[in-house]
Amino acid sequence: MYLELWVHGQIYGMHPLIRVRVMTKQSVLWIKSPLSTFTANSEDASNGILIQGQTILELVPKGQSPKRQYDQIFDASAHVLMPGMVNTHHHFYQTLTRACPPALNKKLFPWLQTLYPIWAKLTPEQHALATELAMVELLLSGCTTVSDHHYLFPETLVNGIDQQVEVAQRLGMRATFTRGSMSLGQDQGGLPPQSVVQSEETIMDDSARLIQAYHQKDDLIEIALAPCSPFSVTQDLMKSTAALAKEFDVNIHTHLAETEDENNFCLEMFGQRPLDYLETVGWLHNKTWLAHGIHFNDVEVKRLGAAKVGICHCPSSNMVLASGIARVKELEAAGVRVGLGVDGSASNDHSNLMQEIRQALCIQRLRYQADEFTHLDALNLATKGSAQVLNRPNIGQLAVGMKADLALYKLDEPRFSGSHDPLAAMVLCGAHKADAVMINGQWKVQQGVWLEGEIAELMQKHTAAAKALFQSAGY
């Protein structure tokens, strides 16, 4: 922390007025006496936490005061305190095609084939607006770390990932951006049109460039590599991606086992089930995380756990597209790292991770008994579980030394009236917006308001971009 002092330079024979920056001790903030606290671990922070700089300095147990000195207080007596949530799978550009009439009420493959020609018209300006809108929407829900799977690169969108990094840095959000790809177009038996398919040389060259340019160059941004899916890339690209990721020690990501149609496609195209295919191309290890992971059998679940693969559960998207229900409890029991994601905003159709927690609870109750998957399990998916999926050990929990990423919620809406357990009410009564959000020790939302910009102006521009994209596709 710096204290800026203006002094008269004549004393020292310098310019009449100069600015001197004096290093001072970082202030310590006490998030005091929350209504309830979810730490995502066994630690007691019932009376709040202390934050210094970018880091959690101390947890304050029930009935105790801080052991360390503090000089600022945030009165959290009307708030539920929890770690900032971590979104492990999204497609930001799809915010431009929510509730899109031609794609309504379709299964995954027909849904994709309807939307690909629209998405193929995406411009850099539209992509930047879609990225910002999605990130701000997530932020307002209490999400502090985002992950986006961008695999669509029409000719006009060469530097799509660079755009996303710029937006995240401007907003001060923590992010894992994946350099997605599609190389298997309709001419080669894949689903996407040729206009959005790239050569493998282009994909690999850009992947290496992005890693070298942005991966862990600051405390917020990471890069991962992410071929879209088995039905949109070749085996060679999957193998090359695994090799490049190993060279640079970055994570890899793809869609897998989302529907039975995908399983059948893999059998017809490669003569293997999706997990066998994944192992063949060198992806079965702890740097891999998969979106959906619904249609695995018992033996495959054990193999995934033994390899410590991560899986992102996307309940709303799986319900909208009628894809199925992920076997979360069996996956976790086998050793799989399981987190939560909103998935694309054209199959969800929102970017609200807090709402996704309730969806996770409800859909898992269709697979398990009411006492086998609890509201705490659902909260854990979006925090500690998701952080583990992204291999980011310094977020997702309230603990000493963790990054100061957190969200605070008020239970002051009619939906919460009459509730008794604040944490349970957050999930069961349907919390959907944070009152305050901090990332890396910096407030990004206060009193429910985004502090970095004007949400109405952003929505106006984004809506105009969505209409222009739809019209450019001939609708």
Question: Which pLDDT does position 195 carry in this prediction?
Answer: 83
pLDDT band of residue 231 (cuts 50, 70, 90) is: confident
| Contact criterion met (CB below 8 Å) for 357 and 427 | yes
CATH class as words, domain 85-389: alpha beta
Share of the chain above pLDDT 70, in %: 95
Of the pLDDT bands very low, low, confident and very high (cuts 50, 70, 90), residue 193 is confident
Mean pLDDT of 78-105: 96
Structural domain spans, the chain = 85-389
Statement: the pTM of the whole predicted model exceeds 0.75: yes
Q: State what percent of residues in the chain have pLDDT above 90.
A: 84
Q: Which residues of 135-162 are buried (b: 16+ CB within 10 A; e: fewer)?
A: bbbbbbbbbbbbbbbbbbbbeebeebbb
Residue 158 has a pLDDT of 87
Query: What is the DSSP track for 270-330?
Result: HSS-HHHHHHHTT--STTEEEEE--S--HHHHHHHHHHT-EEEE-HHHHHHTT-----HHH
| Tens-digit pLDDT profile for residues 206-215 | 999 999 999 9
Q: Calculate the alpha carbon distances from 413 to 410, 422, 429, 446 in Å.
A: 8, 13, 10, 17
pLDDT digits (tens, 9 = 90+) for 20-76: 434 446 899 999 999 999 999 999 999 999 999 999 999 999 999 999 999 999 999
Residue appearing with tokens 């090799």: 243
